[in-house]
Structure 1
Amino acid sequence: MSVVQKPLGTPFGPFTTAEEVARDVDLSGKIAIVTGGASNLGRETVRILSTRGAHVVVPARDVDAARQALAGIAGAEVVSLDLLDPASILGFAERFLAEHESLDLLILSAGVMATPLVRDAEEHEGQFATNHLGHFRLTAALWPALHSANGARVVVLSSRGHQLGGFDLDDLDFVRRPYDKWLAYGQAKTANVLFAVALDARGREHRVRAFSVHPGTIVGPLARHLSSEEIDMFGVLNDDGTPIIDPARDLKTPEQGAATTVWCATAPVLDGIGSAYCEDCDIASVETEGRFGVRPFAIDPDVAEALWSESVRLTGTDLPTRR
């Protein structure tokens, strides 16, 4: 298994918006699912895909709030789903498969960051369970529809948070280690990148390609578990409390933050390519230090396979083998 991780030199960059990326894209007749699609980056992704003709299904725990947030976006459908509840994931997938033969775009945008220690019903650490295991279960359950699309793409929202490290395949749930919310976040974001690598290895022969994305730094609901002092330490707010917008420093608007996701989901230049970690609407370079690029450990194919095997063990699910 090889990972394509070399910049293409696209005409886009950190200032590019999702609207600009999708200007010449026609998604008429396409079906998309966007988890986390009712707020911030996810909502902008839903809006752009819808304006380009796609029918977008938005899973949400709070269906009423999601419908209110997405009011006015034609082509967006809200369906109940809780990523921490395996039965809810299966029920969502069964309903989708009963109504749709294929799934063209699966965008895994939902996530949490730097939360206090929370465990799901199976005692898995909450950030790992939400950001990775829930999406792992969902992708496996939707595999028949991805396979049937004959050219599907899966986009997994990671971040530069993967550079925090903390990935420990022998203690993913922080049972033996003291819990550290930032190490747990870094581990979950690393898992997102590794998941895309392993999924792409399985999907490429079926024309299902996977990518992971750093969208940029966007102040929003993801920071809800941080104190005002913690947010101040990041230097992302003006004196009046509004977000600083400086894409050259990776501080972006939601419209700019959604651009790389939409690019990975729709760019023709990515036909025949997969498994890449992307930022600023291009494939990122591999870097061992600094703020930019992807760390080598996050795209290691052997580690990706090991995480896949462990995810199968933890969830009791895998891609169907009957096709």
Structure 2
Amino acid sequence: MSMQQHKIGSGFGVDSTAEEVLRGLDLSGRLAIVTGGYSGLGLETTRALAGAGARVIVPARRPAAAQEALAGIDGVEVGRLNLADLESVREFSERFLASGRDLHLVINNAGIMASPETRVGPGWEAQFAVNHLGHHALVNRLWPAIERGRARVVAVSSNGHQLSGIRWDDVQFKRGYDKWQAYGQAKTANVLFAVHLDALGAAAGVRAFAVHPGAIADTSLARHMSDEELAALTATIAGWKPVAAGAATQVWAATSPQLAGLGGLYCEDCEVAEPAAAGATLSSGVAAWAVDREEAARLWRLSADLTGLDAFAA
């Protein structure tokens, strides 16, 4: 575990909002990509970044729905992208790179949770594919623009990562599917992605962070859960946040001067998180397996093999 994986005294906390963490920052001239930036936490993130002067690109599986949701927010453009389809990722990335623009902020916000067993691409488990592999492919394809912009890359994870490390013997759940174990693995993958991207990109000025936004009731993330499941989860978890506070940590990680010179860290409540207690489940802090550098490098190699994409390959 990183010696830096400890609180830095940000002055923000569980109730801070995206607007509050941006107060005093001028993002004029900065270009951001926010996947899934047209609903829930993503929409609030887009609104906050644009309000601080950034131009925001929102890749969307449903561009018409995105245009409707984003109407009235200045400085936003929408592009077609389906993270479950690597050809779609290629097409989106090539269109963007052809524009010649630099990227300064990338927030991998889109994701699915506790979905029924679904296979995408060449038979990949959907939560691992959408939450992790699609974003791995996107960042590697966009690397030239990310490198030029000395960007910050934020992977939106969850304390759900504490449910499972990477199941190296059955990553694709071919021997029995459990939707919560699959979600936990995908969220661990998000953290490990940030750990290794930061190790690879720091020399070029690119830093990466993973974040837990908190438990947010008012989003579409729980769309695959029954009313009974959602009620049980609501009763289990304390400290539910409104969307404005839920978006704050990813906005803070993407923009805060307090994180200058740092990277590869897991953050929560607008602060660098502490290591989680042994055996913690859906609790505060980060599990040791999610910030293990050897595990992160191993996952990067697997992801590169699966997608055929590694911007850092010799």
**TM-score under structure 2 normalisation?**
0.96
Asked if 1:282 is matched to 2:271, the reply is: yes
Indicate if the aligned counterparts of 1:143 and 1:320 stay in contact, CA closer than 8 A: no
**Percent identity for Structure 1 against Structure 2:** 53
Q: Shift in Å at residue 236 of structure 1?
A: 5.6
- Alignment partner of 1:42 is 2:37: no
Paired position in structure 2 for 1:241: none
Distance in 1 (alpha carbons) for counterparts of 2:121 and 2:207 = 31
The correspondence of residues 121-270 of structure 1 with structure 2, limited to 5 A, is: 121-149=121-149, 151-175=150-174, 177-219=175-217, 220-235=219-234, 249-270=238-259
Asked if the contact 2:209–2:267 (Cα under 8 Å) also holds between the matched residues in 1, the reply is: yes
Cross-structure match for 1:308? 300
1:278 Cα shift? 0.2
Letter in 1 for 2:215: T
| Structure 1: distance between partners of 2:154 and 2:201 | 13
Letter in 1 for 2:26: D
Structure 1 counterpart of 2:120, one-letter code: D
Q: Distance in 2 between matches of 1:113 and 1:261?
A: 18
Partners of 1:203 and 1:77 lie apart in 2 by: 27
Residues in 1 aligned to 2:159 and 2:268: alpha-carbon distance in whole angstroms: 9
Mapping 1:94-113, distance limit 5 Å:
94-113=94-113
1:9 Cα deviation after fit: 1.4
Give the aligned CA root-mean-square deviation in angstroms.
1.6
Q: Is the 8 A contact 1:3 1:299 kept in 2?
A: no
Q: Paired residue for 1:15? A: 15
Matched residue type, 1:129: A
1-side partners of 2:165 and 2:140: how far apart?
26
Structure 2 residue ranges without an equivalent (≥5)? none
The one-letter code matched in structure 2 to 1:227 is: S
How many residue pairs match? The answer is: 310
Q: In structure 1, list runs of 5 or more residues that go unmatched.
A: 238-245
- Residue identity in the other structure for 1:309: R
Shift in Å, 1:289 = 3.9
- Report how far residue 100 of structure 1 moved: 3.5
> Following the alignment from structure 1 to structure 2, what is the Cα–Cα distance between the partners of residues 236 and 50?
35
Shift of 1:226: 0.2
**TM-aligned CA deviation for residue 319 of structure 1:** 1.0
Tell me if the contact between 1:106 and 1:153 (Cα under 8 Å) persists in the aligned partners. yes
Contact 1:260/1:281, CA 8 A, preserved across alignment: yes
Letter in 1 for 2:245: Q
| Cα offset, 1:101, TM superposition | 2.7
Within the candidate set 248, 254, 260, 1:271 is matched to: 260
Query: What TM-score do the two structures reach when normalised by structure 1?
Result: 0.93
What is the alpha-carbon distance in structure 2 between the residues aligned to residue 189 and residue 50 of structure 1?
27
Separation in structure 1 between the aligned mates of residue 208 and residue 126 of structure 2, nearest angstrom: 24
Cα deviation, 1:127-154, whole Å, max 9, x if unaligned, reads: 00000000000000000001101x3100
Matched residue SS, 2:102: coil
Secondary structure of 2:142's match?
A: helix
